[in-house]
Amino acid sequence: MSEPSLLKRLDTWIPLSRLTYRIPAHGRSLFCSLGGIVFFGFLLMIATGIILLQFYNPLPDQAYQSLETIQKIGFLSYIRALHYWISQGVLIALIVHLSRVFIVGAYKTPRQVTWWLGVALFATMLMGSYFSGTVLKWDEEGADALAHYQQSLRFLGPLGAMMTDSLPGSSSMNLRIFASHITVFPILIIVLLIGHFLLIRTFNLSPTPWDKWSNQPQIPKEEMKGRFNEHARTIVIFSLIYYGFLAVVALFARAPLGPAPSASHDPLKPPWPFLWMYGFENVWGVVAVLFASGALFGFLALVPLIDRKQDRSFAARKKILTLGGIVAFSVVALTFHGWMTPAQEHTHGHGEAAHEDDGHAHEEEEEHSHDEEEAEHTHDEAEEHSHDEEEADHPHDEKEEDSHAEKKSDHSDDEWDGF
Ligand code: HEM
């Protein structure tokens, strides 16, 4: 008897051949690959994020400076641009994926929980990952975003207070947001994704509104003409094209980094995914942001409960499609309105909050400078020696620290120019 081939033996350990299970033929199309494209982008976000993590310093008085250093180093500045542009791409693909699922009524029985996990993924990615990423820049926009966050937390009473840095002994907001950005949100996304994928595997892709099975929960197995490996291939091909294009964009367009936060900066507008709420905030203050985002996610969560009939055909779903159209149109029109409106100073307190936070940052600056010095001493002796000895003699002088930081970044420039 001949030995089984290497491929067959490999397959007993990693059964890739099982990935050829049947799926509907439309699973091979671009529109049914959008979820996978989002997933591919999420993996790239993790990869680029891990590299940035080696250089980003989350201490409140160091974060901005470490980003300035990253911007000066060609290779790192490119990785940061990639992280930024891929995040834009993921968000756009996610919105199109959600829209496709909504339009074809793929949230109907038995896929309601798949949809709800999707809504939770959208909320976590947008209000969690994207928002916290904006704060981590720690420039004016980041400080403004943090001020909004702190303002919003005030409406949550004692629970909200615990989540701000107003209580004695509480840790710095920047550190907390950093921890959430690199652990809490990615872990939550992974847990939600596991549920999302398990349900998709269990129920398979839904019939389309134009199939003869449009009013059935599933296409009969014998009528499924596609294979999962073909679906995966489409995802990989389109992801390479899409993110490849963004990788080229990142070569020419750096990730934005505004001026360092100051008490007297000009009013700012939020990043584009939050721009649709700007008009509300101008009128009613930051509380309107809570209500507007709650209304959007609330509407999305209600979709499978509003549209409960099994029929997916467009004719049978006029009401929900009209309602969805109105919501989508409103969000786009409000975004456009927010974009056209001149930036306004908000008297509802986020300026105040920014000040409070500044104060906090200063207090921390003093507290941390001592720790840092210690860390610097123990951290990298070799580097310390190759730098000037003066520094080691007078580490308590703030000005000198600054010049040290400058020297450090100059030094890094020299070191990294090779990239
Ligand atoms: C991190 C975010 C997400 C990832 C990675 C993801 C991934 C996927 C993948 C790979 C599929 C199967 C192929 C496809 O239809 O594209 C899928 C299907 C699905 N997704 Fe998502 N998704 C995400 C977010 C969402 C959101 C925001 C929603 C809606 C609110 C959603 C609802 C659904 C539903 C209902 C299906 C089943 C589609 C069908 O049976 O035809 N997903 N998702």
Query: Which ligand 1 atom is at minimum distance from the Cα of 204?
Result: 40
What is the pLDDT, as a whole number, of residue 263?
74
Q: For a ligand 1 pocket test, name from 46, 196, 199, 243 the mutation site with the most ligand atoms within 8 angstroms of its C-beta.
A: 196
What is the pLDDT, as a whole number, of residue 46?
98
Q: Is residue 126 lining ligand 1, measured as CB closer than 6 Å?
A: no
Q: Is residue 136 lining ligand 1, measured as CB closer than 6 Å?
A: no
Q: For a ligand 1 pocket test, name from 42, 91, 97 the mutation site with the most ligand atoms within 8 angstroms of its C-beta.
A: 97
CA 215 to ligand 1 centroid distance, Å: 20
Q: Is residue 205 lining ligand 1, measured as CB closer than 6 Å?
A: yes
CA 98 to ligand 1 centroid distance, Å: 7
Whether residue 153 is predicted with pLDDT greater than 50 in this model: the reply is yes
Give the percent of the chain with pLDDT over 70. Answer: 82
What is the pLDDT, as a whole number, of residue 345?
78
CA 117 to ligand 1 centroid distance, Å: 9
- Asked if 82 contacts 48 with a C-beta cutoff of 8 angstroms, the reply is yes
Query: Which ligand 1 atom is at minimum distance from the Cα of 104?
Result: 41
Give mean pLDDT, residues 147-171.
82
Task: Domain ranges for the chain, please list them.
Answer: 18-374, 380-419
Q: What is the dihedral of CA 28, 328, 46, 183, to 10 degrees?
A: -130
Crossing angle of the two packed helices 185-203 and 34-53, in degrees rounded to 10:
160
Percentage helix, strand, coil, to 5, in the chain?
75, 0, 25
Looking at the chain, the number of H-run helices and the number of E-run strands are: 18, 2
DSSP state of 31: G
Whether residue 178 is predicted with pLDDT greater than 80 in this model: the reply is yes
What is the pLDDT, as a whole number, of residue 382?
38
Over residues 303-356, the pLDDT tens digits come to 999 999 999 999 999 999 999 999 999 999 999 999 999 988 775 443 333 333
CA 337 to ligand 1 centroid distance, Å: 30
- Quick check: bond before 110 cis, omega within 30? yes
Whether residue 184 is predicted with pLDDT greater than 90 in this model: the reply is yes
CA 39 to ligand 1 centroid distance, Å: 10
Give mean pLDDT, residues 136-147.
91
Q: Is residue 303 lining ligand 1, measured as CB closer than 6 Å?
A: no
Whether residue 268 is predicted with pLDDT greater than 80 in this model: the reply is yes
In one-letter notation, the amino acid at residue 140 is: E
Query: Which ligand 1 atom is at minimum distance from the Cα of 39?
Result: 5
Over residues 72-117, the pLDDT tens digits come to 999 999 999 999 999 999 999 999 999 999 999 999 999 999 999 9
* Assessment of whether the complete model's pTM goes beyond 0.85: no
CA 406 to ligand 1 centroid distance, Å: 47
Q: Is residue 120 lining ligand 1, measured as CB closer than 6 Å?
A: no
What is the pLDDT, as a whole number, of residue 385?
42
Predicted confidence band of residue 296 (pLDDT cuts 50, 70, 90): very high
Q: Which of these ranges, 124-133, 135-144, 147-156, 372-381, has the smallest mean pLDDT?
A: 372-381
Q: Is residue 97 lining ligand 1, measured as CB closer than 6 Å?
A: yes
Nearest C-alpha to atom 40 of ligand 1 is from which residue?
Answer: 205
Instruction: Please give, one letter per residue, the 3-state secondary structure of 157-191.
Output: HHHHHHHCCCCCCCCCHHHHHHHHHHHHHHHHHHH
Give mean pLDDT, residues 276-280.
95
Domain 18-374 sits in CATH at 1.20.810.10
Higher pLDDT, 226 or 168: 226
- In degrees, rounded to 5, the angle at the alpha carbon of residue 43 between the alpha carbons of residues 38 and 46 is 125
CA 110 to ligand 1 centroid distance, Å: 14
Q: Is residue 37 lining ligand 1, measured as CB closer than 6 Å?
A: no
What is the pLDDT, as a whole number, of residue 347?
54
Question: pLDDT averaged over the chain?
Answer: 84
What is the pLDDT, as a whole number, of residue 344?
85
CA 206 to ligand 1 centroid distance, Å: 11
What is the pLDDT, as a whole number, of residue 5?
86
**CA pair distance 183, 344, nearest whole angstrom:** 34
Over residues 215-241, the pLDDT tens digits come to 999 999 999 999 999 999 999 999 999
CA 42 to ligand 1 centroid distance, Å: 13
What is the pLDDT, as a whole number, of residue 1?
59
Closest CA to 42 of 141, 186, 223, 218: 186
Q: Is residue 34 lining ligand 1, measured as CB closer than 6 Å?
A: yes
CA 185 to ligand 1 centroid distance, Å: 18
66-70, 391-395, 413-417: which has the highest mean pLDDT? Answer: 66-70
Higher pLDDT, 339 or 388: 339
Whether residue 387 is predicted with pLDDT greater than 90 in this model: the reply is no
CA 100 to ligand 1 centroid distance, Å: 9
Tokens matching residue 198: 């398990």
